[in-house]
Structures are given as structure tokens and as C-alpha cells.
Structure 1
Amino acid sequence: MASLRTAAPCTSTNTRCSSGRAASVSCRIPSLTYLPGRRAAPRLVKYDCTSERPFVAVRSLFDNDKDGNDYGDRIFAALPFLLPLLDGLPYAKFIMLQYPFVARAFAPVAPLMYLYHSFPFAPFLVFLAIYNGIVNNTSLPRFVRYHAMQAVLLDVLLIIPQVILNDVWKAPGDEVGLQAYILAYNTLFLFTAVCSAYGMGSSLVGLTARLPLVAEAADAQVRDL
């Protein structure tokens, strides 16, 4: 349940409002609103001296709050989503051949992906670093650990389709099977890319992302930390 904390209504003792002035006279009193699922944002509430009914005048979404969700925490919460994105990029080969603009859009990530896949144990080491260094690090804000946990679980979800597509279901020779194989590759890449982009974007603006299939498990994992 969202809670609203405001300053006391304007009175004749703490404002310049008086009964002798016109009814349109109003006072602006700063307050702080806490909304579920997003960071606290300062509001400037305007009180009418006759009705004392508040309405929003100004609100900023990019302030620091007491939970530590500042700019550094937002960036730190967004970085773990590079893990599932880098693991999902190899499945973009068909969609990049069909739509070259997708390859151009991910061109800035190409050097990082090359380094990530150049070393045999790099994915596993990065996975352990995120899980032990961020998710299990209770000194970090829950905002950071929760998003890192979602990125880790999203990366774990890629294991089963990776095994099926790479080891069990090889590229078939018939036309129908090949189209199904390409569709599976494209679907896996699009799901991973959209979830990673949504998680990174929400983290950077200070909102709590809830990704499909992993949000509830991530919430249960970091709830008691």
C-alpha cells in the first residue's frame, strides 16, 4: 500500500495565507511520495488555503533516496543483465542475417562478446562473480541484489534450450524442420534481448523490473537478506 507523507496544511501561523486575501491564494509545500515498485520521488504539493486539497505541481524521478538507490546503484543493478544478453547473442545469427540493422544495433557489444566467449571458463566465472559478489553481498541495497538475481536466473533459463539446440536437436535438412529450428533460435534471442533491455532500462531509471518466469524466484531468494 502506497503511503503519502506531506507537510501540515498551510495556516495563518506558518504561511502568509489569511482569511482576508482572495480565495485563489495558495501555498506550495514540499512533500515526499513513496510509490510501490519505484524509487521515492520528491513532490511539490500545492495547497489551496480555502479547500486544503493537494494536487501535484512538480515531481522529479531522479533524486537520491534513503534506500541508497542513487545513480551508482542504478548502474550497478543494470550491469548484470549483460550476462544473459551475451549468452543469448549467439542465437541471433539467423535474425541478423535476415535483418542487418539488428547486427548494426548490437555492434557496440561485439568486442565485449568476443572477449566473453574467447576464454572457456569466462561465462562461468562471471556467473559466480555476480552471484557471490552481488546477490549474496548483504552490504549492497536490495534494489541491486534483486536485479542481479533476476539476471542470474534469466541466464540459468538459457541452459536447457542451449543443450537442446546445440546437442540434441541439430539443424535439420528438411524445409519444415529448418524453419522450426530458425524460429527457435530467433525466439530465444528475442526473449533474452527484450528481458535484458527491460531489466537494464528499468534499473537505470530507478524502477523495479519484474521479468517473466524469474521475478517471483528472485524475490524469494533475496527477501530475507
Structure 2
Amino acid sequence: MPLKASIPFGYYLFYKYSFLKILLLLTFPIAIIEKSLPFGSFLLFIILFAGLARNPNVPYFVRYNACQALLIDIALIIISYLLRIFPIVELGSIIFIFTLCIFIYSISQCIYGVEPEIPLISKSVRMQI
């Protein structure tokens, strides 16, 4: 979800570096779900929050990563609203690259079986779970 939410920030980079369009293919299934249902993104958020992050029957590692993805997604939504009020064009590419780095870091840590430690986000996730 955070990678899909960061796509609008990276439009300039997608235009300049066409090989980055591969990332669009990764987010395509989530985009289909969000666009096919009314309030799709809100429903996906509720399903992840209630079905995974708050469900004690789901393993801790899955709940941790789901909650972390939700918090990053909320942060990106807040940033997008702030950028509508204070339009700083250059900041969009930085936000996209930062989110991409968080995505790659989180995936690599999950492959190793370690909880991804993202400052501020991880502490908030532990308080939520």
C-alpha cells in the first residue's frame, strides 16, 4: 500500500527514467481493488486494520508489517494534503525515493526474518499491537 500511495509523488521520475515503470506493475493489483470497489481504498484500509493488525489470531510478524504499512500510508496521505496546500514540486521525488527505500528495506528485512526498524513508525507500531 505505501508503494502504491507514493506513485503520484514519482511522476517526474517515471517520465525521466522509464525503467521505473516496472514499479507500476507491482502496484497494479492493489490499484484494481481500490478502483473497482466504491470507497475501495477505505475498505482496504479497514480490512487491513481490523482483519490483520488488530486480530490476535494472525501471527505477530504479519500484524507488525500490516500495521507498519498502514502507518506509512497514513503519513503519505498527510504529506499529500500538505503538498496541496504548500506545493513544492521537488519534494515529490524525494518522498517517492524515500518511500521506495523504506519498501526495499522492509522487504529485505522480512526475507531475513527480522522486524524492519523504521524510526518513529516502528515505535508506534509496537504501541498499537
Q: TM-score, normalised by structure 1?
A: 0.52
| Correspondence 1:208 to 2:125 | no
1:98 Cα deviation (Å)? 1.8
Alignment of 1:74-223 (within 5 A): 83-103=1-21, 105-109=22-26, 111-112=28-29, 114-119=31-36, 120-166=38-84, 168-170=85-87, 181-222=88-129
Output one character per residue of 1:41-83: Cα deviation in whole Å (capped at 9) or x when no partner: xxxxxxxxxxxxxxxxxxxxxxxxxxxxxxxxxxxxxxxxxx1
Output one character per residue of 1:126-153: Cα deviation in whole Å (capped at 9) or x when no partner: 1111110011110122122111111111
- SS of 1:106's equivalent in the other structure is helix
Aligned residue pairs: how many? 128
Contact 1:134–1:140 (Cα < 8 Å) also in 2 = yes
In structure 2, relative to structure 1, the CA distance for the partners of 1:140 and 1:110 (3 Å cut) is closer
Among the aligned pairs, what percent are the same residue?
Answer: 27
What one-letter code is carried by the residue in structure 2 that aligns with 1:164? L
What one-letter code is carried by the residue in structure 2 that aligns with 1:118? K
In structure 2, relative to structure 1, the CA distance for the partners of 1:95 and 1:206 (3 Å cut) is same
What one-letter code is carried by the residue in structure 1 that aligns with 2:35? S
Q: TM-score, normalised by structure 2?
A: 0.86
Q: Which runs of 4+ in 1 moved over 4 A?
A: none
Largest Rg, 1 or 2? 1
Structure with the largest fraction of helix: 2
Q: Which runs of 5+ in 1 are unaligned?
A: 1-82, 171-180
Alignment of 1:41-56 (within 5 A): none
What one-letter code is carried by the residue in structure 1 that aligns with 2:95? L
What one-letter code is carried by the residue in structure 2 that aligns with 1:195? I
RMSD over aligned Cα, in angstroms?
A: 1.9
- Matched with 1:38 is none
Question: Matches of 2:24 and 2:66 in 1, distance apart?
Answer: 24
1:109 Cα deviation (Å)? 2.1
Contact 2:4–2:31 (Cα < 8 Å) also in 1 = no
- SS of 1:137's equivalent in the other structure is coil
Output one character per residue of 1:158-200: Cα deviation in whole Å (capped at 9) or x when no partner: 122111223x235xxxxxxxxxx33211011112121122212
Structure with the largest fraction of strand: 1
